[in-house]
Copies of this chain bind each other. A is one copy, B any other.
């Protein structure tokens, strides 16, 4: 017979239900009942138990609860790096809505851009915690990698283009948004435009935006120069290219697939004497960053709050009754934020 394993030094001090039960002079089952409210307990014992819990500072082990009980009230949120204010806001809003719905959120955040495998690791951690639902709000991991989990637990793709019939999607209307941006450029008289956006692998959403704007502008009879971009601050980010295009008069405006890119551009352009909108008109996308209006930078505000609200609503309903929810792909349209940067 194995000897009693000594308490692990790290988890030592964690009060158990048994200790609470002893302190209150009842059985563990009764303590459990009080905590879960799953059955009536004599008021007098109830109070004694509650007092013991308080005195001992007892906090039930989520692991043991999950193991014994099964179902989980928590949703896993896989979200990108909150260095980007749009993700910061989304995170915050999801959290708020989940709180309101009485759901716990467990967040996993893959670091910056380290690729899809890294995101899958983060996802696995969430699944290891046996969350009851999954909100995926990163731009990189492919939906194909998610479908395998869809039969096991509710999955909602948040704020990213989604078309897989097995995964519910709540996202931005990139098409509508692209139209709005293209029209704004056209309305301001621009006929030759640079469109700066990253490749698909880097960000599904941004890439789709860029392609939509390009397509619509061309439909409207504009010339479009597509400028691929990768990392910020490197020679490959397209900034120099756009500056050249502006100087040479090849384009009169540039569209950036995110406000961060736009801001990065205007700062560096100013550094070399290229002023917005004097030498080049610009418009970005996201509309979340603070100070856009103050800077006079035009953008398109994506409906983060609405997407967050609806995502939590959907996952909550799925968790309550899986069958009651048919898979859909909802999109929400943003609103143009005009600005002096579009030109006269």
Asked whether A104 and B125 contact (CB < 8 A) given A70-B10, A71-B8, the answer is: yes
Count A-side interface residues using an 8 Å CB cutoff: 66
A337 contacts partner chain B, Cβ-Cβ < 8 Å:
no
The smallest beta-carbon distance between A172 and chain B, in angstroms, is: 19
Segment at the interface with B among A89-97, A188-196, A213-221, A241-249: A89-97
A64 contacts partner chain B, Cβ-Cβ < 8 Å:
yes
A11 to B108: give the CA distance in the assembly, Å. Answer: 20
Given the complex, which residues of B lie within 8 Å of A88, measured CB to CB? Answer: 82-85, 87-88
A110 to B166: give the CA distance in the assembly, Å. Answer: 32
Nearest chain B residue, comparing its CB with the CB of A276 = B294
A window 48-94: CB within 8 A of B: 57, 59-67, 69-72, 81-85, 87-89, 91-92
Set B12, B63, B108: member contacting A67, Cβ < 8 A: B63
A235 to B9: give the CA distance in the assembly, Å. Answer: 53
A326 contacts partner chain B, Cβ-Cβ < 8 Å:
no
User: Is the beta-carbon distance between A111 and B82 smaller than 8 angstroms?
Assistant: no
Given the complex, which residues of B lie within 8 Å of A111, measured CB to CB? Answer: 92, 95-96, 99
Set B8, B14, B71, B263: member contacting A291, Cβ < 8 A: B263
A128 contacts partner chain B, Cβ-Cβ < 8 Å:
yes
Given the complex, which residues of B lie within 8 Å of A250, measured CB to CB? Answer: none
A window 317-335: CB within 8 A of B: 319, 322
A266 to B66: give the CA distance in the assembly, Å. Answer: 50
User: Is the beta-carbon distance between B130 and A63 smaller than 8 angstroms?
Assistant: yes
Chain A, 279-295, contact with B by CB distance < 8 Å: what is the 0/1 string? 00000000001110111
Nearest chain B residue, comparing its CB with the CB of A149 = B57
